[in-house]
Amino acid sequence: MAAMDEIHLATLMRRMGIEALYPKRRLSKPHPGHQIYPYLLRGLEITRAGQVWCADITYLPMARGFCYLVAVMNWASRWVLAWRLSNTLDASFCIEALEEALVRYDAPEIFNSDQGAQFTSEGFTGLLQAHGVKISMDGRGRWMDNVFIERIWRSVKYEEVYLKGYESIPEARRELAAYFDFYNLRRRHQGLEDRTPDEVYWSTLQTQRTAA
């Protein structure tokens, strides 16, 4: 009976698009002609808002079809700085999210991502280099190198996406905008000592500017 219950649960989870947080096939595939950068975060204590940003792409199921979501996140505070939706995996929506983040916030010292073609593209890396940002990339197959943004995907999917079953990308865009406002401004995190990303981001940024 237990085995049958597990099979039934697995079937329901597949139908709903629910998945656990675990290593999986990457959505961003490497491009053989693009430069790969070394991982710069190993052993680094990340405590300040302006220190490290990161980005990742995830797959979002909808009532009919699917789309892709990219987010640019401040590592120390978990603040989602910018995001974009797309129905393709070209680099343009990732570059647009990065451009918005760089317009709205001071550039970080380091930017970390996986080795996917979207993040190794000349448009993406060139934008970072133009702002004097050091580029860091996860080791091949090392999903744990960018684990904090993987945890954001779990929150987005279980607290928002799976509950609503968006009918279209415009609906997904509207609902996700409201969710990320909640996530940044009101959702408290145990890993942030029960503070919100907003509180941690601005407090550490102020400390950083005072020290400078």
Q: What is the per-residue pLDDT for 206?
A: 67
Return the domain boundaries, the chain.
30-211
Query: What is the per-residue pLDDT across 100-127, written as a single tens digit (0 to 9) for each?
Result: 999 999 999 999 999 999 999 999 999 9
Q: What is the per-residue pLDDT for 5?
A: 44
Q: Is 5 exposed, middle or buried (0-12, 13-18, 19+ CB in 10 A)?
A: exposed
Query: What is the per-residue pLDDT across 147-180, written as a single tens digit (0 to 9) for each?
Result: 778 888 999 999 999 999 999 999 999 999 999 9
How far apart, in whole angstroms, are the C-alpha atoms of residue 87 and residue 105?
A: 27
Strand order in the sheet with 66-74: 80-86, 66-74, 52-61, 110-113, 134-137
Query: What is the per-residue pLDDT across 86-107, written as a single tens digit (0 to 9) for each?
Result: 999 999 999 999 999 999 999 9
Query: pTM score, two decimals?
Result: 0.81
Q: What is the per-residue pLDDT for 121?
A: 95
Architecture of domain 30-211: 2-Layer Sandwich (3.30)
